[in-house]
């Protein structure tokens, strides 16, 4: 979402998103305050308030669009989608695309909304455009792969992994990404070859990916050793901490598992917070500490009230 240039309004389309017709000259502090209110409202699940706050932030953009305004526009679209306002979210992403026809991220996000609202042909068209605009972005290919796979389009999903392998690797990070793609394709030999090259080029992420390969091959001890080594230098990687916790949980080392889950939860803005919380509850259950499990479940349901499996689990805990 980071845009280097500071741009004045030149297109009517972006005004659809920003509603700047009667823009008032207010200072940036007010804009940032509304932005923060919007983000906090999203965290609390109050998407209506979030949308309203983001729009207020955009209304005081002083007639210009910079990185801040475009960032707020992305947040607004995300809040619209979360609120079930799918057409509004599509309109917002479309406005961003009309403003910058080489905005690969907007194509990807709009395609994802199309995919999740059963508009598959439009989704594929946007995904094709996204990788056309940003053909060297491994993460874009992987994101599209995951979305298509989750929607049951396995064959179409794999095509994007194959396209990603057409990118010519240059740096250690490139070999790490290629290794991970081969891992997703279950080609573990090529995965390991590329990850070894990445490690030789001092890419630390490759250690995490290689641990996944070892784990898939049943070499759990090697995987765990690599992860522990990775975490020493990357204590803020909640995904790695969760993986370590799951390894310990599967081995019956419940207290050690709990330790890793709780370390993951200490990571600020952990993207896998919900998963970590559920695994934390599971660890307490395996330890026989049902009181702590009940307490954590109660807090979890306040944060994620629509998790039906958690609601069923809470019923079970009440009987213990």
List pLDDT tens digits, range 97-126: 998 999 999 999 999 999 999 999 999 999
- The pLDDT score that the predictor gives to residue 278 is 93
Q: What is the pLDDT, as a whole number, of residue 19? A: 47
For residue 284, give every residue at least 6 positions away whose Cβ sits within 8 Å of its Cβ, in sequence order, or none: 258, 290, 292, 293, 296
How many Cβ atoms from other residues are within 10 Å of residue 93's Cβ? Answer: 28
- The DSSP code for 5 is S
Is the pLDDT at 10 greater than 80? The verdict is no
Query: Which pLDDT does position 174 carry in this prediction?
Result: 96
User: What's the pLDDT tens digit per position in 213-232?
Assistant: 998 899 988 988 888 888 88
Half-sphere exposure for 99 (CA within 13 Å, toward CB) = 26
C-alpha distances (whole Å) from 45 to each of 11, 272, 290 are 33, 17, 28
Task: Tell me the percentage of the chain whose pLDDT exceeds 70.
Answer: 87
The Cα–Cα gap between 126 and 164 comes to: 17
Q: Rounded distance, CA 219 to CA 126, Å?
A: 40
Percentage of the residues of the chain whose pLDDT score is greater than 90? 52
Report d(CA 224, CA 287) in Å as an integer. Answer: 21
The secondary structure element, H or E, covering residue 39 is: helix 28-44
The phi and psi torsions of 83 (rounded to 5 degrees) equal -85, 0
Question: Which residues does 178 contact at the CB level (< 8 Å), separation at least 6?
Answer: 138, 164, 165, 167, 169, 194
Is a pLDDT exceeding 90 seen at residue 63? no
Q: 77 near 89, Cβ under 8 Å?
A: yes
Which of 8, 17, 117 minimizes the C-alpha distance to 65?
A: 8
């Amino acid at each position: 979402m980071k845009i280097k240039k500071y741009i004045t309004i030149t297109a009517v389309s972006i005004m659809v998103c920003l509603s700047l017709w009667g823009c008032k000259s207010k200072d940036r502090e007010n804009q940032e305050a509304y932005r923060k209110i919007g983000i906090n409202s999203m965290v609390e699940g109050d998407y209506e308030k979030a949308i309203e706050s983001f729009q207020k932030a955009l209304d005081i953009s002083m007639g210009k669009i910079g990185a801040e305004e475009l960032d707020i526009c992305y947040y607004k679209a995300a809040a619209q989608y979360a609120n079930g306002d799918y057409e509004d979210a599509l309109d917002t992403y479309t406005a961003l695309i009309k403003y910058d026809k080489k905005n690969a991220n907007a194509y990807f996000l709009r395609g994802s909304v199309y995919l999740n609202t059963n508009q598959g042909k439009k989704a594929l068209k946007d995904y094709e455009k996204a990788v056309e605009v940003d053909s060297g972005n491994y993460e874009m290919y992987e994101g599209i792969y995951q979305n298509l796979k989750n929607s049951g389009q396995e064959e179409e999903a794999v095509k994007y992994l194959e396209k990603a392998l057409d990118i010519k690797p240059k740096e250690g990070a490139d070999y790490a990404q290629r290794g991970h793609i081969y891992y997703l394709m279950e080609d573990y030999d090529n995965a390991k070859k590329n990850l070894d090259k990445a490690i030789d080029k001092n890419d630390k992420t490759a250690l995490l990916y290689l641990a996944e390969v070892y784990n898939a091959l049943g070499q759990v001890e090697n995987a765990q050793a690599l992860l522990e080594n990775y975490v020493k230098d990357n204590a803020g990687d909640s995904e790695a901490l969760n993986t370590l916790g799951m390894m310990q949980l599967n081995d019956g080392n419940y207290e050690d598992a709990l330790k890793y889950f709780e370390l993951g939860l200490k990571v600020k803005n952990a993207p896998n917070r919900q998963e970590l919380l559920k695994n934390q509850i599971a660890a307490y259950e395996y330890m026989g500490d049902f009181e702590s499990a009940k307490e954590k479940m109660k807090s979890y349901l306040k944060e994620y009230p629509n998790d039906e499996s958690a609601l069923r689990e809470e019923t079970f805990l009440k009987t213990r």
